[in-house]
Amino acid sequence: MHTVNGLHHVTAIAGPAQENLNFYAGVLGMRLVKKSVNQDDPGTYHLFYADADGHPGTDLTFFPWAQMAPSRDGYGLGSEVSLAVPPDSLDFWLERLQGEGVTISPIESRFGQPALPLRDPHGLRVTLVESPDSLRRSFTPWNRSPIPEKYQIRGLESARMVERDLVRTTSFLTGAMGFVHLGTENGWHRYGVGEGKSGAYIDLYENPTAGRGAWGTGSIHHLAWRVGDAAHQMEVRTRVLEGGSRPTPVIDRFWFKSVYFPEPGGVLFELATEGPGFAVDEDPAHLGESLVLPPWLEPERTDIEAALPRLTPPRI
């Protein structure tokens, strides 16, 4: 079976865009590699944070819908995103986050890996995980980051999901997407593709009495999985359809092509191609500095720019 290649990006819902930018670029030191708009709601930004080159798998993105109510926990939503940091770096991050007044929890161990849970300014659960495997991933350090290179976030580590019926979701993951069971710890069940290394696994928790979660500020909107090209995407899409889900047609997002579908528990998934990438319409040295629109939205640029709040690069 030609499985997915791991996480491509995770998209979440934020509050005010400037506060989101200040935290992810200014505090966590990720690079804003694309400043665009939600293509289905062009009056809203779509902000993409990643490594310096915007490699697939390093990308955490946000829709800043400041008018939304806070999210409601429950099944049918991703409950947390984790970011990979190098080994022996959590002491640095603990000191930095405490100095910035970030809401943090004590360092814990997850499947043998030290992990530092925190909340972003709008309530999103984020965890920094010390990951030796992350050192072997495609990663380009950002030389303008406030974070020294040896401590920089190296990409997406994983995500967590709460399910009412674990078997339905795990059967779908293994049958349609090629995941395998990697282990269980403290009620969390880890499933991954390939060897399940950094960026190639998710953790699932079964709670049969959980209520339905609701999107809002501080929630994950969807999890996107990498596929190499259009043929790979269609192969997985076919298995998803045969597995009982309802995938969309292929949607051109310009920097990649997308297919969306719910897994059996209701979490929105995406299949995203690895190319053409963020440098297809911007100089790599100046990613994220200007508002970039896909060609079909360019005729609306004046109205779109008028509707968006002004963003100022965070002081670094």
Residue 1 is predicted with a pLDDT of: 80
- Domain-located, residue 314: no
- Domain-located, residue 154: yes
Indicate the pLDDT class of residue 19, thresholds 50, 70 and 90.
very high
Q: What is the DSSP string of the chain?
A: -----SEEEEEEEES-HHHHHIIIIIIS--EEEEEEEETTEEEEEEEEEESTT--TTSEEEEEE-TTSPBPB-SBTSEEEEEEEE-TT-HHHHHHHHHHTT-EE---EEETTEEEEEEE-TT--EEEEEE-GGGGGS-----TT-SS-GGG---EEEEEEEEES-HHHHHHHHHHHS--EEEEEETTEEEEESTT--TTSEEEEEE-TTPPBPB--BTSEEEEEEEESSHHHHHHHHHHHHHTT--PPPPEE-SSSEEEEEE-TTS-EEEEEES-S-GGGSS-GGGTTSSB---GGGGGGHHHHHHHSPP--PPP-
Per the structure, the complete domain to which residue 195 belongs is given by 7-307
pLDDT at 136 over 90: no
Please, are residues 262 and 245 in contact by the beta-carbon 8 Å criterion? Answer: yes
CATH number of domain containing 93: 3.10.180.10
pLDDT at 44 over 80: yes
- Domain-located, residue 312: no
Please, are residues 202 and 161 in contact by the beta-carbon 8 Å criterion? Answer: yes
Angle, in degrees to the nearest 10, between helices 166-176 and 230-242: 140
The separation between the first and the last C-alpha atoms of the chain, rounded to the nearest angstrom, is 46
Q: What is the pLDDT of residues 273-315, one digit of tens each?
A: 999 999 999 999 999 999 999 999 999 999 999 999 999 999 7
Return the half-sphere exposure (C-beta side, CA atoms, 13 A cut-off) of residue 92.
Answer: 18
305 CA to centre of own chain: 25
Indicate the pLDDT class of residue 271, thresholds 50, 70 and 90.
very high
Q: What is the pLDDT of residues 241-264, one digit of tens each?
A: 999 999 999 999 999 999 999 999
pLDDT at 135 over 90: no
pLDDT at 167 over 80: yes
Average pLDDT, the chain: 97
Furthest-apart CA atoms within the chain: distance in Å: 53
- Domain-located, residue 89: yes
Percent of the chain with pLDDT over 70: 100
Residue 301 is predicted with a pLDDT of: 98
Q: How many residues does the chain have?
A: 316
Q: What is the pLDDT of residues 179-235, one digit of tens each?
A: 999 999 999 999 999 999 999 999 999 999 999 999 999 999 999 999 999 999 999
Residue 40 is predicted with a pLDDT of: 95
Please, are residues 227 and 4 in contact by the beta-carbon 8 Å criterion? Answer: yes
Q: What is the mean pLDDT of residues 103-120?
A: 98
pLDDT at 62 over 80: yes
- Domain-located, residue 316: no
Closest CA to 38 of 77, 69, 11: 11
Q: What is the mean pLDDT of residues 128-142?
A: 93
Residue 315 is predicted with a pLDDT of: 78
Residue 134 is predicted with a pLDDT of: 87
pLDDT at 99 over 90: yes
Residue 183 is predicted with a pLDDT of: 98
- Domain-located, residue 279: yes
- Domain-located, residue 294: yes
Q: Decide: pTM greater than 0.85.
A: yes
- Domain-located, residue 313: no
Domain count across the chain? 1
